[in-house]
Structure 1
Amino acid sequence: MRWTPGHGDRPSADVALAAIVAAARRAVGGGREPLDDLASLLTDVAATDDSDLGRAALAVIAESPRLTAWLDNSARQTVWHRPSRSSQLNQLIKRLHQPTVAPLVAALASTNSDGHVRERAVRVMLTDRSPDLLPFLVLRTGDWVAQVREPARAGLALLLADDPARYLPAALPMALLMDARTRGGFAVNQVTAALLSAPPAVRRVVGAAGSPAQRRLVFELEMTQRRLRIDDLVAVAESETDVRLRSLAAEAACREAVWTGRLPILRRLARDRRPDVRSVALTGLLRLGEQAEVATRLDDTASLVRAIAREAARRAGIDARAHYRASIGGPEPTPGAIAGFSETASESDAHLLDGLLSHPAAKIRAAAVRGLRHLGAVDAHQVTPLLTDPSPSVVREAVNALRPVAATLAAELPWQLLAGPRVELRRAGYRLLGTRDVPERLRAALLLAVDPDPGLARRGRADLTRLVRDADHTTWRRTRLPTLDIPPAQRADLGALAQRAAPAVGEQVSAQLAAWLTRSVQAG
């Protein structure tokens, strides 16, 4: 719903805020038009002089520092230069000189191209002292005009020193985004100094929220200051979603556990569901001489963990290859055992996996195909029937294994799969056709572009666009595709498919494709 004030009764604040939330979601994806729409909505809200609604709108924008930065740039280039809004915008600028200024008015004014307006907006922000305005204030600390930049910098430093609990969470995300900018270092230095001196409760709040970059900064500062105990490190290693930060915590926790001989902590982390944590913990156990315990992980699902376990087995005098042979030949083979076998066996041993291609468990069939591919021992006659396996994972592994030998398959098989009723079958057929010549790849892309599955249709349209643009002689390309040297009947078939796909691929791609087919007719 488009909210436009000034026509009839004013809609409720909830409706206005919902419109801003929807516009912000569209603008997060980038693009000038969504950003302009969002800036126009914010301007409309600012014109109502509804301070509560304005603060709620600022809170929506503050959720994404990148969106705030994009909005700042977009508003300065477009919104403030629209003749249709000149009267409304001039009123907003005049309101900067009133005794009380709504926060949203100050935020929007800080995006103006006139340095005098931005300078006045900064002074209003520092008078208001609202955390909602901190992202816009941080942006101005990197302003190219010294009269704007210096007050913003002084104000940010004072606010962070006076009340870090209130202002640090609002300033930190934007400061980190500013770090790559020419004049962005000041904001990063200020939030770093504020973090170092902030109370532990503030650091915990900031370090548990925000972007991975924010959590990394807090964690690294805490590590530098030696403020984290081993229990804190274990908690981060077990709960953190960012791989880099989780690995740092796990390494630090395991390093201290090795130094102090805390086997229970290493064993606890060795049971973690994430392989990066398990591998670090198992390395710690290996350093403490627990070879036999680590060797029990020979069948782990992660390749790095299996490698560590094989080193432990070697030190303990355990034959890992014999273990894998026994595991895959036993009543309950596991995907990890099959993967370990393919990592240690030779091509001459690949026949031991043949019986697993018909195993009742899909994960075992998929692992067997993956193992054969790893050993370079794929038999097309054995693997081809798995292209129609009931399990999508098995079909995917079969395609991966057969693509290098796709030329040996029956010519019609990929087309039959592309016309199949299941998404994974059509995807398999299309991937096999990706090894064919240009006319067949073009035909496959035209068929996939109108596939009922949205994901497959997107892929077909993208590949079709790439093929057509590579063949376009009106644009510069390092290598251009040749004319389509095909019989008239095949050319007519491509033309019919192109007409059917035209609504899906758009006018430009359709025109380029038509020109390509025309050149091919003339060349023929």
Structure 2
Amino acid sequence: MNWGRRDGQVLPPSMVGQDRLLGAVRVAVKNARAGQWDAVDRLVDALLKVDAVGDEVLARSALGLVAGVPRLVVRLDGHARSAPWYDQYREPAWRRVAGRFTGASSGPVATALASMHGDGRIRERAIAAMVARPYAEVMPFLVVRTADWVGPVRDRARAGLAVSLADGAALYLPAVLPMALRLEARLRAGFAVTQVRAALLAATEQSWRGLLGSGDRRERRFVFDVVLAQGRLRVPELVTLAESDPDVRVRARAAEAACRDAVWTRRHDVLRRLARSARAEVRVVALTGLVRVGQDADVVRYLDDGAPLVRAVARDAARRVGTDAREHYRRGVDADEPAVGAIAGLAETGSVADVPLLLRLLNHERPRVRAQAVRGLRLLDAVVAGELVALVRDPSPAVVREVTLALRPVAGALPPALPWDLLRDGRAELRRAGYKLLRGHGVGIELRAALILAADVDPRLAERGKADATRITRDAAFTAWRSAPRPELQVTATEHAELVTLAARAAAALGEETGRQLADWLTSGRPGE
């Protein structure tokens, strides 16, 4: 007999078979999430094999694997209505679903799949079976039918969902919420979202806290908005969420609610605590609250903050207390160890007269200071190519990025060979910089650079080069509907020969069709032809 093991324990043959069936469903779910038609078809086949066993626990486990992926449930629903009717060699999976579903006595898998059948009468009978024996794994399939295009099916599903949530919100909400939000943009899908909101309003604290602490970002935002509107979150909880929640929207809304309460109750300690947060979106809300309660002197201390909005609020407070923000920034930049926020602030408020202060920082030992100084020169429109060329090979990738942004508008003043040298450098950030500096200099130069980059060892750079080379090639390919003129390849004979060599080298990366189009274009665009 075929005995197996799980966690060191010997399993009987029946359980080994069940494990194999569940494993097959798990693999089919993974493939169907991103696969083509046949991958979804294989998932239906795997589910039908589970249903044939007749074990309800096994069936619900398999159904749970599908129900846990809302977009896959939606895809299954569309797949059921688009199943091919012309299959000459085998009976389509969805036709077998109708044969397996017999009504209330059918198993969970057959019932869930039948609820997606193209025949409205079968869907209605499946909904009746779901409502008669509700369980969490089938709820996402019930939610889909609340937006059904057939009135009787839709009405029965809506009644079933409303009753289920009223009787067992704690059990069914975790399964209903993701599916309802997935369908929110659909026609007739508002009912499910409204029912979820009503269930949340009536849910116990344990239930909504469980949903707030789990699920994806969209679900947590929905739950947070509902409980926040009810006033169920106290200030200490809001402060904790503002300081530590991983979602920026939740942090910002929690900070706003906490600061609003702190302003009304004159809790300056809460505002000062949030003003020290590591998150800029929290600091700016807290500082705005301090301004509202007249604590401008506290706010002015944030003139050198690293966030632009925070600096803007601090400058507004500085104006009211009589502090000259520009002079403050000039003193900060002129210090031995200038703050990065002070450099950024000077770029936001200064003028050309402040350029010498920034030029002095181009050789600073701290990379962040050098990068911010280059950014400041760019914002003040005071970039001189000769002064920044030496920094284009800076050890810091951040400095290289800022120098590249600053040099792009004045790339014509650079040594002609510099971008090509960078494009062949051993450092990925320098190759990226060289490629950016070559953009906008004609089709021939852009195509040459893209073909070089398409063979790069860095996958991201190679993908960028491939995409640009493909775009240029397809723009040049003749199409009857083209309204824009074809790009002209104005190159010398030597440059043309190099393009041919590069195209041959990048042919594997570009693909057969693009490679053929590029070869045809280069052949028809030989100099002198």
TM-score after normalising by structure 2: 0.91
Change (3 A) 1:372 1:174: same
Matched, 1:398 2:397: no
| Residue 369 (structure 2) aligned to one of 364, 367, 378 | 364
Matched, 1:288 2:289: no
Change (3 A) 1:404 1:44: farther
Change (3 A) 1:441 1:87: closer
Deviation of 1:193 after TM superposition, in Å, equals: 1.7
Deviations 1:67-94 (A, max 9, x none): 2212221243137875555286555433
Distance 2:90 2:283 in 1: 60
Matched, 1:348 2:360: no
Change (3 A) 1:505 1:45: farther
Distance 1:264 1:271 in 2: 11
Deviation of 1:96 after TM superposition, in Å, equals: 2.0
Number of the residue aligned with 1:334 = 339
Number of the residue aligned with 1:493 = 498
Moved more, 462-471 or 254-263: 462-471
Change (3 A) 1:91 1:25: closer
Number of the residue aligned with 1:4 = none
One-letter code of the match for 1:321?
Answer: R
**Structure 1 segment 170-189 matched on structure 2, within 5 A:** 170-189=175-194
Which secondary structure does the structure 1 equivalent of 2:91 belong to?
A: helix
Number of the residue aligned with 2:121 = 116
> Unaligned regions of 5+ residues in structure 2, if any?
1-13
Number of the residue aligned with 2:382 = 377
Deviation of 1:258 after TM superposition, in Å, equals: 0.6
Number of the residue aligned with 1:517 = 522
Moved more, 39-48 or 490-499: 39-48
Moved more, 372-381 or 55-64: 55-64
Deviations 1:23-71 (A, max 9, x none): 5445444754554454444444444545444433333333332222122
Report the count of equivalent residues. Answer: 517
Which secondary structure does the structure 2 equivalent of 1:272 belong to?
A: coil
| Residue 225 (structure 1) aligned to one of 212, 222, 230 | 230
Number of the residue aligned with 1:260 = 265
Number of the residue aligned with 1:125 = 130
Deviation of 1:488 after TM superposition, in Å, equals: 2.8
Which secondary structure does the structure 2 equivalent of 1:411 belong to?
A: coil
| Residue 160 (structure 2) aligned to one of 148, 155, 159 | 155
Matched, 1:97 2:68: no
Answer yes or no: is the 8 Å Cα contact 2:51–2:109 preserved in 1. yes
Moved more, 116-125 or 331-340: 116-125
| Residue 439 (structure 1) aligned to one of 440, 444, 463 | 444
**Structure 1 segment 453-492 matched on structure 2, within 5 A:** 453-474=458-479, 476-492=481-497
Matched, 1:146 2:141: no
Deviations 1:410-457 (A, max 9, x none): 111111111111111111111111121101101111111121111111
Distance 2:293 2:86 in 1: 69
Matched, 1:422 2:433: no
Deviation of 1:263 after TM superposition, in Å, equals: 0.9
Moved more, 234-243 or 413-422: 234-243
Change (3 A) 1:158 1:400: same
Distance 2:482 2:191 in 1: 44
| Residue 208 (structure 2) aligned to one of 200, 203, 211 | 203
> Unaligned regions of 5+ residues in structure 1, if any?
1-8
**Structure 1 segment 299-338 matched on structure 2, within 5 A:** 299-338=304-343
Answer yes or no: is the 8 Å Cα contact 1:327–1:333 preserved in 2. yes
Answer yes or no: is the 8 Å Cα contact 2:32–2:43 preserved in 1. yes
One-letter code of the match for 1:165?
Answer: A
Answer yes or no: is the 8 Å Cα contact 1:172–1:214 preserved in 2. yes
Distance 1:216 1:430 in 2: 40
Distance 1:44 1:453 in 2: 45
Deviation of 1:368 after TM superposition, in Å, equals: 1.0
Change (3 A) 1:436 1:135: same
Answer yes or no: is the 8 Å Cα contact 1:473–1:480 preserved in 2. no
Deviation of 1:361 after TM superposition, in Å, equals: 1.2
Change (3 A) 1:103 1:410: same
Deviation of 1:374 after TM superposition, in Å, equals: 0.9
Answer yes or no: is the 8 Å Cα contact 1:247–1:276 preserved in 2. yes
Moved more, 393-402 or 79-88: 79-88
One-letter code of the match for 1:507?
Answer: E
Answer yes or no: is the 8 Å Cα contact 1:299–1:306 preserved in 2. yes
One-letter code of the match for 2:180?
Answer: A
Matched, 1:237 2:242: yes
How many percent of aligned residue pairs carry the same amino acid?
A: 50
One-letter code of the match for 2:395?
Answer: P
**Structure 1 segment 65-104 matched on structure 2, within 5 A:** 65-78=70-83, 82=87, 84-86=89-91, 90-97=95-102, 100-104=105-109
One-letter code of the match for 2:409?
Answer: P
Moved more, 381-390 or 10-19: 10-19
Distance 1:473 1:505 in 2: 18
Deviation of 1:130 after TM superposition, in Å, equals: 1.4
